[in-house]
Amino acid sequence: MKNLLAAIERNLRDAAVTEISDETRFDAAYKAVMQCALAAMLSSGYRPSTSEPGHHATLIQSLPLTLGLPDQAWIVLDALRRRRNANDYTGDIVTPDMVEECRAQGRQLQDALLRHLKKNHRALLAG
Amino acid sequence: MSGIAEFLLGQVRARVLSVLFLHPGKALHVREIARLTGSSPGSLHRELRSLGDAGLLLRSEIGRQVHYQANEASPVFAELAGFLRKTLGVADVLREALSGLGDQVTLAFVYGSVAAGTETAGSDVDVMLLGSAGYADAVRAFAPAQQVLGRDVNPTPMSIDEFAKRLKEKQGFAVQVAMSPRIWLKGEENDFAELVAHRKAQGSRLKAQGARRNGA
């Protein structure tokens, strides 16, 4: 868990670097979003089967259950997931606005995750 | 826009044709067509038979049920499907969603496979939004439309200047969007042509207009 939390912070910092392309910044922020969802799921005692297709969608869908994410936030996260897919496979564009949105979502999830862990799983933070 | 199709074809015929032509390859039972178009099966039988006689629909009997589907072999299939797609299909639903963003969107159009008519069952609806709307707001505005359409909507908001700049620099995405077919949701082809024209030329034309106005 500690490694995962460190990776989230690292990816969000990488996403803040403006010297690199919007695509790479977006990827880093998106990775942080996924890691937040993964950490929240693991802390609840579940493990997603990451070798199966659709596990990103599953992770995002789990957020209302693990971190109590409101629907409005879920809708945007799911759109970011599809955007990332479209960027990777069909060269769809990533704009600076999308990078900022993905970073903001990542930060918010990180905050929610840390609050959740402090409140419900103190042992995980210590270990 | 839906007004055009209903004005030309009549409400019932416009709805019947859109239900069948926007989902070619799908044969529907008469009662199902009635339900989807909000008309009574009785009056619909005659309408469907006439459209079948005109060669626009294919009739088939499955057991005792009569099914109809769009006749893709009709010489006007592509034109009619395109017309309906632009007037009654996806565009209407998206336009309604777009109204939630108000003045934040100056120009909006569908591009990609749905605009080109080459979409598959899983295709997203790609929507370009030029103006000041943000990505998250755009995604939220189109969320209800996704449910109605049964397709994900993929909005790309961008300022007009940003798009013009990317186009001028011949960036892949902007060029591709500029070259591909469009279904207009807000604004029209002329607005886009003006945008695509060299910004320098645009500036001088606007200046020329201003000078004329001042002179008059």
Contact of B32 with chain A, judged by CB distance below 8 Å, is answered with no
Query: What CATH code is carried by the domain that includes residue A35?
Result: 1.20.120.330
Strand order through the sheet with B57-62: B28-29, B65-70, B57-62
pLDDT digits (tens, 9 = 90+) for A26-77: 999 999 999 999 999 999 888 888 888 788 999 999 999 999 888 888 899 9
pLDDT digits (tens, 9 = 90+) for A2-22: 899 999 999 999 999 999 999
Nearest CB to B140 within list A76, A95, A97: A76
Q: How far is A101 from chain B (nearest CA, A)?
A: 7
User: What residue segments make up the domains of chain B, in order of their start?
Assistant: 2-82, 89-211
Higher pLDDT, B85 or B41: B41
Strand, coil or helix: B48 = helix
Contact A76 B139 (CB under 8 A): yes
Single-letter amino acid code for the residue at B4: I
Contact of B135 with chain A, judged by CB distance below 8 Å, is answered with yes
pLDDT at B1: 44
Nearest CB to B124 within list A82, A95, A98: A82
Residues of chain A contacting residue B173, judged by C-beta atoms under 8 Å apart: 91-93
From B133, B145, B90, B171, select the one nearest A92 (Cα to Cα).
B171
Among B104, B113, B135, B167, the strongest candidate for a mutation testing the A interface, having the largest count of A CBs within 10 A, is B135
Distance CA B89, CA B86 (A): 6
pLDDT digits (tens, 9 = 90+) for A73-124: 889 999 999 999 988 888 889 999 999 999 999 999 999 999 999 998 888 8
Largest interatomic CA distance in chain B: 77
Higher pLDDT, B23 or A93: A93
pLDDT at B203: 45
Q: Which CATH architecture has domain B2-82?
A: Orthogonal Bundle (1.10)
pLDDT at A25: 96
pLDDT at B23: 81
- Total domain count, chain A: 1
Among 3.30.930.10, 3.10.580.10, 3.40.640.10, 3.30.460.10, name the CATH number for the domain at B89-211.
3.30.460.10
Tell me the ipTM for this assembly: 0.83
Contact of B104 with chain A, judged by CB distance below 8 Å, is answered with no
Structural domain range at position A26: 2-126
Cα-based torsion angle of the residue sequence B11, B15, B16, B22 in order, rounded to the nearest 10 degrees? 150
Contact of B132 with chain A, judged by CB distance below 8 Å, is answered with no
Q: How far is A47 from chain B (nearest CA, A)?
A: 27
pLDDT digits (tens, 9 = 90+) for B55-90: 999 999 988 899 999 999 999 999 898 888 767 778
Distance CA B132, CA B159 (A): 6
